[in-house]
Amino acid sequence: MRYRRVKGTRDILPHEAEARRGLESQVHEQLSKAGFLPILTPTFEYYELYQRSTGESSDIVTKEMYRFQDMGGRDLALRPEGTPSVMRAVLENRLKIPIRLWYVMPMFRQDKPQKGRYREHTQVGVEVIGEAEPQADIELIKLGFDLFTLMGIKGMFLELNTIGCRECRSGYTEQLTGFLKEHHDELCADCKVRMNRNPLRVFDCKVASCQSILKQAPSQRDHLCSACIEHFDAVKAGLERFSIPYEENERLVRGLDYYSRTVIEFKSSTLGAQDTVCGGGRYDYLMGELGGPPTAAVGFAFGVERALLASRGEGIFEFNQSSIPLLLLPLGDEAKVYSLELLFKLREAGIGVQAEFRSGNLSKQLKRANTRNACKVLIIGENEIASGKFILRDMQTGDQQEVGFDELLNLFCSAKGQSC
């Protein structure tokens, strides 16, 4: 074969595409009830937007961006995540805050492909902009919990942490940097860079030797200011009150630079290495970083591919050609023209019908109907057109009956006639 899809991309075949539509409409219904409005932003933006928001110390910006220059010399990037572009759109279009927005959009990251990790994936994201209270965090986490329960995510658990605010984080990063300096020579090359750019990022490192050093790292808990402790305690109390199970994970820092205070990840034990279905948290400084007024915000996003994997398992979307409830088989040119008219009339009446317009005698047409997986066929020749009576054949049993248009409608408008 001459052309193949690009490494890390996927063809989403009809069964999976249908399942995604179902998932999206379920999500749409739930989010509308919670006051979320849909938004869509461009697939590419100025590179600087992500550099500034997702952050210069994130793996996404340093290693995974599809960055390119267009013919006008603009420095652009394919969207790796939705939060920065949504915030830019809110600012640029002067949307009134507070506002709750949601999106389903493709994202692009040039990471190493593996099960559940692709170079193009789709995220459903929700952003609550302009709500600073811990109740907004609780509401959002409950929304995610209910959505994933509804979707039937298997082996789901929630990890929770707080990474403090600007004030209390600076004392902690100083102490952490001191600790990392002491272990400088034992750190991997990436962590040596992370240490200078954003020391918290070292907790994202997957290298075993770094992980074991980090076990002795100072805890951020000892540095939280009273406002951050109060916020975190309120979030935890809320989750307990609404019976949402969670595990506190002090090492959860998330891989993007804009977070503050609450951070969360919903995981599934069924997924293997890429087990995070959903990630999110507060990002109270991002709007200010982008040149807007200081605006608290909290949100999350989940990967549609991972959600489907975790709810339905692998192999479920193997594609089998689906059946055609009714196939018109015209015999001859006049019948072809007539069939087209009949096709439109039947469809108008709500019947799922197709026609086989290739020429051929009856036995050839019946063979084609078999290949196309037709349940029933309607044979249309010159005599049938003249009499207005057609032969309806059941492709499984071979039974035939003569039917007029009205009988056909009666047969197929009842659920019985629509399936094999």
**Which residues contribute to the site for ligand HAM (CB under 6 A)?**
81-83, 109, 111, 116-118, 121, 123, 125, 127, 255-256, 276-281, 283, 299-303, 305-306
Q: Which is nearer to ligand HAM, 125 or 199 (CB)?
A: 125
Residues in the chain, how many?
Answer: 420
Q: How far is the CB of 83 from ligand HAM (least distance, A)?
A: 4
Q: Rounded to an integer, what distance in angstroms lies between the CA atom of residue 82 and that of residue 84?
A: 6
Measured from the CB atom, is 281 or 330 closer to ligand HAM? 281
- Can you list the positions of beta strands (E) in 99-242? 99-108, 120-129, 156-162
User: What DSSP element (H or E) covers 227?
Assistant: helix 226-241
Tell me how far, at minimum, the Cβ of 238 lies from ligand HAM, in Å. Answer: 18
C-beta of 275 vs 407, nearer to ligand HAM: 275
Question: Among residues 50 and 390, whose Cβ is nearest to ligand HAM?
Answer: 50
CB 205 to ligand HAM: min, Å: 16
In this structure, which amino acid lies at residue 233? D
- Give the shortest CB-111-to-ligand HAM separation in angstroms: 5
| Residue 98, preceding peptide bond in cis (omega within 30° of 0) | yes
Smallest distance, ligand HAM to C-beta of residue 409, A: 46
Smaller CB separation from ligand HAM, 165 or 374 = 165
Per DSSP, the three-state class of 172 is helix
**Given the complex with ligand HAM, which of 122 and 365 has the nearer CB atom?**
122
Q: Are 302 and 330 in contact (CB under 8 A)?
A: no
Closest distance to ligand HAM from the beta carbon of 304 (Å): 8
DSSP calls for 51-114 = HHHT-TTSHIIIII--EEE-TT--EEEE-S-SHHHHHHHHHHTTPPSSEEEEEEEEEE--PPPB
Query: How far is it, in rounded angstroms, from Cα 105 to Cα 120?
Result: 10
